[in-house]
Structure 1
Amino acid sequence: MSIERRFHPRKDVNFSVSITLENSNEQLSSTAINLSLSGIQLSVDKSGVDLILSQCSHPAQFQIRLNDDNKVDRFTVRLIVNRRISQNQFLLGLKFIDISVEQLAILETIINQ
């Protein structure tokens, strides 16, 4: 029997996410796999993970934009889980940091769709 220990349940999603690293001019593209009010899981290729790990201090912290929507503020996230699922594909578990009320409302809208 599995016991759910999460504060917020996950919702399976499939939309694009852009990643912005503080020390790099590059924008990485990834796909959101699931989402909750406390975090998000992204599918990222090896070159993206290598760039994140090389550009960020430990623990890695950076910004993402959901659905590539320029009207929405970027979310600051911290890398919690880096799981390799194939030679070139990784799942990154990210926790939202310092989330605003407006950002929380955006997440609730996406989760309740």
Structure 2
Amino acid sequence: MISQLDIKDFTPSADKTIWDVRDAESYQSGHILHAINQPLDTLDKDLLDSTTGDIYVLCGGGTKAVRACALLDELDSTRQIIHLTGGTRGAKAVGMTIVSDE
């Protein structure tokens, strides 16, 4: 099941599964706190099955996250998948902590 949550209404924390589905280079240039880089092309049933609880998905602005959410829902429609609308750009705009690995 896919739902949406505006990034401005989200509080990242270590106890949440947050997947940034951009490529590694984009992720390293800046991502929200506690996000794990899980590029779109790495999403599969094994990964989904090895993860418990809700999964929060975002990208830079929304395009890849929409595709990732659809794919995850197709793999397991019983899982709660939350699309963080606005993505990393939206997070920056509202002053969220952005981590850079560069």
> Could you say which TM-score interval applies, normalised by the shorter chain?
under 0.3
Structure holding more strand per residue: 1
TM-score by length of structure 1 reads 0.25
Larger Rg: 1
Q: Which has the higher contact order (CA 8 A, sep 6+)?
A: 2
